[in-house]
Structure 1
Amino acid sequence: MRLGIDIGGTKTAAVAIGEDGELSDQVRMPTGFGADQVVATALRTVERMSDLAGVDASAFASIGIGIPGAVDSATGRVRHAVNLGLEGLDLGSRLSDRLGVDVRVENDVKAAALGAHHLLGIADGIRKHSMAYLNLGTGMAAGIVLDGTLLRGGHGVAGEIGHIPVDPAGEQCGCGQRGCLETFASGSALARMWPTEHPLPGRDLFDRADAGEPDAVAVRERFLTGVASAVRLLVLTTDVEDVVIGGGLAALGDDLLVGVRRILVAWSADSAFLDSLDLARRVQVIPNGFPAAAVGAALIGGPAWQKS
């Protein structure tokens, strides 16, 4: 069995994958804040999964961690995970020393890309060769799998499409640039464009747009156009067969998928080139509740994923 752990800003999730590709039950627990507490959370999660599996931690074929921030996958060092209170942590080596097992660490979005890739392979009965996972959370980022290999890039920032400027006169992004894709299509973008006390701002926006509120319709279309632009960008730069939308805003489900496809179809009607790419067919939304980052983390110990 391979163990995968997704360490998020507030909660940590874990899942084990058997040799047959089947998933175990998930374990969820709160994430501690700061280096020592993050390590402690990971150790408690391994202990809990070991108890459920009835084996010692050393019996897992591999242990992988998906975590926010800048991750050096070769050394297991995590930097700039501000929501976890981490400016620098040698997470992989600290866990390996405590567990006596090699622990590999990957950025959470890249790990989720592997998880989505695994899911598509199960659904189709084959291993997909190329796909992108478009994460719509507080920010926007993508993980890309090409020819069965996770794309990391020379500095580990492959897929950071949320910080590609598309409107030089647009809103200032947290990265310091203006008009980035993330300022149109992300949780932070919705919070700015659609301020509300509703616990689910995206759901509130879509429901009000469906009810015909003009302001809601305008914001929804701006958001959907940003997501569709990200899909188009990923296909034009990497020619992936599938773009799988995940992250917190993927909970919008079919409403999100239908809206994005509608915009892609409209663009294709005006461009024979785009029409030939069949963009609407390539996009889908990950099933609600699928633990993509934890599944991907379970897979990163394998040799197929250790390339860049």
Structure 2
Amino acid sequence: MDEYLSAAPVPPPGLAVGLDIGGTKTLGVLLAPDGEVVAQARLATRPGPTDVLDGAVRAVEGVTRQAGVAMSDVVGVGVGVPGLVDADAGTVRHAVNLGIDGRPLALAELLSARLGGVGVGIENDLNAAAVGAAHLLEAEEGHGSADLAFLALGTGLAAGLVLDGRLRRGAHGAAGEIGHVPVDPSGPPCACGQRGCLELYASGSAVAALWPTTSDRPAPVELFEAAERGHLDAMLARDRYARAVAGAVRMLVLSVDVRHVVLGGGVAQLGDPLLDAVRGALEDESAASAFLRSLDLPGRVRLAPGRVSVGAVGAAVVGRGRFTLPASAA
């Protein structure tokens, strides 16, 4: 069932809508000119190009209807979507969880036509989340926060990068794909064709391998709760996982020296217990290295802001025209 959340009073014109389209749900936000979220929506996602497009239209109409504004007041719509995204062309392909195959779907053009011609921007969902985290941290901390890596701890492992306020996609769209950096050449095979990739140790799937769940509850929740109860094997597994995530943090800081590494994705829903474990691992690593201590790695790590969907907020920022670069400048 489509579920619409509460909205704030009617905002002034100059608004942007952002959508985070996932395999099971579509999250929408209405972003005011001052950067505040004034309406939110949550809808079930139905697979297939036609249903994805219809769902996007319903989400946009839902947040504008809540706020009592017309589409003519919306300056842009942004969409964060999984799969292979061509941000310049406004297309997406190989979004398997959405039922979108290898043929490019002109999502930006089609959605714009359904919404009366408003400009629509498309971005990879991880990049949109990085933009959203940067936007929300800037609102909390002021200038200087739009320099971060959004480390997504989900089924896989990857980072979205916002460097000095600009989204970094990379020459081939592979910026932040640290999950496929081998950390143990003699380790198990990875789906990418290499062996011992970081993703095998620091992703959400890695938690399930370390601590197979005995119920329908997520493996990370079971692992951390068991460790909190003093279960020795769980404590060892938790600390092993935290060291792997700390390795990902260290890799990001030492490669691009971001101000923040923001933990997001499904595992990050653990909240403070995960943050404390990762910071503890970074402190242990820094104890033997004056160089690492000088970089204050534990102080750079934080959780993604949790009150709204960072992906939907980032998509709204993309729709407003910020944090987007032409391919030649990315």
Match of 2:257 in 1: 239
Deviates most, 140-149 or 87-96? 87-96
Partner amino acid, structure 2, of 1:278: D
**1:255-270 → structure 2 map (5 Å cutoff):** 255-270=273-288
Partner amino acid, structure 2, of 1:298: A
Match of 1:280 in 2: 298
1:42 aligns with 2:64: no
Deviation of residue 71 (structure 1)? 0.8
Match of 2:66 in 1: 52
Deviation of residue 127 (structure 1)? 4.7
Q: Does the CA-based 8 Å contact 1:198-1:204 persist in structure 2?
A: no
Q: Does the CA-based 8 Å contact 1:120-1:127 persist in structure 2?
A: no
1:229 aligns with 2:223: no
Deviation of residue 301 (structure 1)? 2.7
1:120 aligns with 2:120: no
SS of match in other structure, 1:301? helix
SS of match in other structure, 1:26? strand
1:95 aligned residue (93, 96, 111): 111
Q: Does the CA-based 8 Å contact 1:112-1:133 persist in structure 2?
A: yes
**Alpha-carbon RMSD:** 1.4
Q: Matched residue pairs, number?
A: 308
Cα deviation per residue 1:157-200 (whole Å; 9 max; x = unaligned)? 21111111111122222322221111111221122221112412
Cα deviation per residue 1:223-262 (whole Å; 9 max; x = unaligned)? 1111101100110111001111111111111111111111
Deviation of residue 18 (structure 1)? 0.5
SS of match in other structure, 2:94? strand
TM-score (norm 2): 0.90
1:70 aligns with 2:84: yes
1:20 aligned residue (13, 34, 52): 34
SS of match in other structure, 1:174? coil
1:298 aligns with 2:325: no
Partner amino acid, structure 2, of 1:116: A
TM-score (norm 1): 0.96
C-alpha separation in 2, matches of 1:248 and 1:193: 16
Match of 2:148 in 1: 131
SS of match in other structure, 1:295? helix
Cα deviation per residue 1:105-124 (whole Å; 9 max; x = unaligned)? 00111101111101111111
Structure 2: state its 5+ residue gaps.
1-14
C-alpha separation in 2, matches of 1:198 and 1:223: 21
SS of match in other structure, 1:300? helix
2:123 aligned residue (106, 128, 134): 106
Deviation of residue 39 (structure 1)? 0.9
Match of 1:200 in 2: 218
C-alpha separation in 2, matches of 1:57 and 1:194: 48
Q: Does the CA-based 8 Å contact 1:69-1:82 persist in structure 2?
A: yes
**Sequence identity percentage:** 52
Match of 1:156 in 2: 173
Match of 2:97 in 1: 83
Match of 1:171 in 2: 188
C-alpha separation in 2, matches of 1:303 and 1:66: 14
4+ runs deviating over 6 angstroms? none
C-alpha separation in 2, matches of 1:103 and 1:303: 9
1:32 aligned residue (34, 37, 46): 46
Deviates most, 290-299 or 190-199? 190-199
SS of match in other structure, 2:322? helix
Structure 1: state its 5+ residue gaps.
none
